[in-house]
Amino acid sequence: MRNIRGFGKEIALGFLPVLIAFLIFAGMPALPLIMGALMVAAIFMFARSRGGLAMSAAGKKPSAREPDYMSFEDIGGQEQAKRELSEALEFLVQRDKIEKLGIRPMKGILLTGPPGTGKTLLAKAAAHHTQSAFVAASGSEFVEMYVGVGAGRIRDLFKEARNLAVKQKRDSAIVFIDEIDGIGGKRDGGQHREYDQTLNQLLTEMDGIQGDEKVQILLIAATNRKELLDPALLRPGRFDRHIQVDLPDKTGREHILQLHARNKPMREGVSLSRVAEETFGFSGAQLESVMNEAAIYALRAGSDRLDSEHLSQAIDKVMMGERMDRETTHEERERVALHELGHAIVAETVRPGSVAQVSLTPRGQALGYVRHHPRKDSYLYSKPVLEEQIMIALGGSAAEEMFYGGRSTGSRGDFEQATNIVRTLIESGMSGLGIVHPQALTQEQWSKENEAILSELTDRTRKLLADSKLAFEQLLDTLIQEETLSGEQLRSKLQHAS
């Protein structure tokens, strides 16, 4: 058939010059005929090119596949999210019981939370928990410049889910769309016809999910930015459940570390509980990276087991970045050491036991750093706690002033951190301004209150460091020679100096 079509095109192309020659011979003007022929040919080629591109774009289908085996027991640190998701999936597991109670089938579940917290893993585990067919796609797969292509892919996605369920002889299917904000963002009334049509088609498909269908479809979507989604997508009857997938707490972090340590030989005495303490704020993906990087460090060292030093190096790499080979002068090295000791001494004074390590190893953009570990996870902060954080941030510049009489550009990030905490104090009603709406403050009022808070806390920080000047001198040589100082070494020196 393709050969016949190609042969017909060749006949048409051969006949066109003959026709033009005959018309010229019959007395018609040559220039209009030639121009008209060129225009027809150009229009034909443009339409053919666009049609081919559109067909090619429409031909890309989201991936339908059997997910890697994943159960809820294989996911750590998300007990609340797993419990909520399991309860929401009961209408697929116990369909007869749900129908007897007259409960409307659930159409969509939205997983929201920071990156790397396990939203995709939860969707895979949901498919195995309910013994459902599984189709996965990303929001970016539906975005095209040609109107109607994204909507067509949405239809193909749900059609593929039904066909896959029939093929696998299952009565339910789960459609998972990652980064759904790529197609489900708020509509602003502009001329984004492709985006609007794609979102409208998704809404139509969700409205068409009925409980009496042979194959029950459940849409699970994930996003890091729920606030950007269109209200029509979030209303009940579409996404009936919104499940928050947060960063894990200490117990969750330890569970995740244990899961990723199952295939890694650990040296006796290694405490994953301690690693969990030192990784406050880490996501599940970051914790997996910590275990993987620790294994790489063990391989580089020629060790057949992971020990505490490998894990400590891995935490530093995931938190701060790869170690950099930067040559610094003796004066720069000494200034950096004093700067970091300023942070560490203030931290140990206001929060005993909070410093894990002081290092002069350049990582990322930092020439040195202090690694802290909280004794317990905190989610609410009082005024004294925020003031302590500001003093710790100001400790580096205060130490430089005490020994050099001035600051350096190394304090820039510290000042940015301090001013952000001051903003939190003011917006939380814990400043001298009292409870006030931030927009009601003028720039002059902001600046005046910011200066007053920072000035008071800077004076407190300077006095604190002045009382610890002897400890600076004892710790400086050790830090410069060994490049790293453990929290235990720091605390021991501070006790002897006092």
Residue 146 contacts residue 54 (beta carbons within 8 Å): yes
CA angle 227, 229, 230 (to 5 degrees): 125
239 and 298 in a single domain? The answer is no
In a domain, 422, yes or no: yes
Q: How confident is the model at residue 1 (pLDDT cuts 50, 70, 90)?
A: very low
Q: How confident is the model at residue 186 (pLDDT cuts 50, 70, 90)?
A: confident
Q: Among 191, 210, 244, give the residue marking a domain's end.
A: 244
271 and 240 in a single domain? The answer is no
> In this structure, what are the phi and psi dihedrals at residue 439, rounded to the nearest 5 degrees?
-75, -15
- pLDDT, residue 56, reads 40
- Whether residue 365 is predicted with pLDDT greater than 50 in this model: the reply is yes
Is 90 designated active site? no
Phi-psi region of 249 (alpha: psi -120 to 50; beta: other; left: phi over 0): beta
272 and 141 in a single domain? The answer is no
**489, exposed or middle or buried, with CB in 10 Å at 0-12, 13-18, 19+?**
middle
- pLDDT, residue 57, reads 42
237 and 305 in a single domain? The answer is no
**201, exposed or middle or buried, with CB in 10 Å at 0-12, 13-18, 19+?**
buried
126 and 109 in a single domain? The answer is yes
- Whether residue 3 is predicted with pLDDT greater than 50 in this model: the reply is no
168 and 307 in a single domain? The answer is no
pLDDT in tens, 126-183: 988 888 889 888 887 777 655 567 788 888 888 898 899 899 888 888 999 998 888 8
- Give the pair of three-digit tokens for residue 192: 């984004």
Q: Among 320, 343, 369, give the residue marking a domain's end.
A: 320
- pLDDT, residue 28, reads 62
Q: Measured between alpha carbons, how far is 23 from 363 in angstroms, rounded to an integer?
A: 78
Domain that holds residue 266: 250-320
- Whether residue 326 is predicted with pLDDT greater than 80 in this model: the reply is no
183 and 232 in a single domain? The answer is yes
Residue 33 contacts residue 126 (beta carbons within 8 Å): no
- Whether residue 377 is predicted with pLDDT greater than 80 in this model: the reply is no
In a domain, 325, yes or no: no
- pLDDT, residue 341, reads 92
297 and 408 in a single domain? The answer is no
In a domain, 427, yes or no: yes
pLDDT in tens, 62-119: 544 455 567 888 888 888 898 889 888 887 777 777 777 777 778 889 999 999 898 9
The amino acid that residue 490 corresponds to is L
Q: Which of 205, 254, 340, 400 is catalytic?
A: 340
Give residues with Cβ within 8 angstroms of 373, minimum separation 6: 277, 278, 279, 280, 354, 356
485 and 386 in a single domain? The answer is yes
CATH number at residue 216: 3.40.50.300
Q: What is the CA radius of gyration of the chain?
A: 32
Q: Measured between alpha carbons, how far is 275 from 253 in angstroms, rounded to an integer?
A: 9
Query: Which residue, 491, 489, 481, is CA-closest to 334?
Result: 481
Q: Among 212, 244, 276, give the residue marking a domain's end.
A: 244
Q: Measured between alpha carbons, how far is 231 from 186 in angstroms, rounded to an integer?
A: 7
Integer CA distances (angstroms), 199 to 57, 59, 184, 232, 410, in order: 18, 19, 6, 10, 47
- Whether residue 314 is predicted with pLDDT greater than 60 in this model: the reply is yes
- pLDDT, residue 144, reads 62
CA angle 483, 272, 370 (to 5 degrees): 30
Q: Measured between alpha carbons, how far is 386 from 426 in angstroms, rounded to an integer?
A: 11
Q: How confident is the model at residue 36 (pLDDT cuts 50, 70, 90)?
A: low
- Whether residue 271 is predicted with pLDDT greater than 70 in this model: the reply is yes
In a domain, 214, yes or no: yes
- Whether residue 404 is predicted with pLDDT greater than 70 in this model: the reply is yes
For a pLDDT cut of 70, what percent of the chain falls above it? Answer: 80
- What's the domain count of the chain? 3
In a domain, 174, yes or no: yes
In a domain, 77, yes or no: yes
- Whether residue 198 is predicted with pLDDT greater than 60 in this model: the reply is yes
376 and 337 in a single domain? The answer is yes
Query: Which residue, 408, 402, 389, 406, is CA-closest to 469?
Result: 402
* Average pLDDT of the residues of the chain: 81
